[in-house]
Amino acid sequence: MADQSSNFALFQVSLKSLIIDGDKLLTLYSPDGKYDFPGGRINSDEIDDDFEQSLSREIEEELSVDFKFKINEFAFSSKRYYMKDGVKHHVLVVFFSASALNSNIKLSDEHSSYEWLSFSDIVKNPDKFVSDSEHKHLNNYLSLLKKQYNSDRL
């Protein structure tokens, strides 16, 4: 039987957090002005760890160990890519919802700034997202959260 493995797509895996405080979402800005969210890729020595452990490490690296948060649950996944040395690298991004427990953010140099954006404001700018997939899935997820919030208030 012929080797079929050459037909499989290869993706790096990145873990990202949607840190929510009320109706605001912590939004980081990359140096090129695009929206980003706390998190990053899994290190090779974390391959056997839970995703939440790797994500916690990334959040502490990007926002400081003084920033307190709680990772809640899987939210959605999306795709993005980046170019390096003329090669396109595909990334599967796994998003988790999280709650901010304080506001002690000290941003690392990976991002230029941050702000807390309302759910409606963040999805108004699809061109600020790294990928169309990310914008689409975040928009759907936030719409579900808004419906759930409104039904809980009734």
pLDDT in tens, 85-141: 999 999 999 999 999 999 999 999 999 999 999 998 999 999 999 999 999 999 999
| CB-CB contact of 109 with 29 (8 Å) | no
C-alpha distance from residue 54 to each of 42, 66, 112, 122 (Å): 6, 17, 23, 26
pLDDT at 146: 82
CATH of 10-153, one of 1.20.1250.20, 3.90.79.10, 3.40.1280.30, 1.20.120.1200: 3.90.79.10
| Helix (H/G/I), strand (E/B), else coil: 3 | coil
Where do the structural domains in the chain lie, given as residue ranges?
10-153
| Helix (H/G/I), strand (E/B), else coil: 112 | coil
Chain mean pLDDT for the chain: 91
Choose between 143 and 3: higher pLDDT. Answer: 143
pLDDT at 154: 36
How confident is the model over 27-83, as pLDDT tens digits?
999 999 999 999 999 999 999 999 999 999 999 999 999 999 999 999 999 999 889
pLDDT at 3: 59
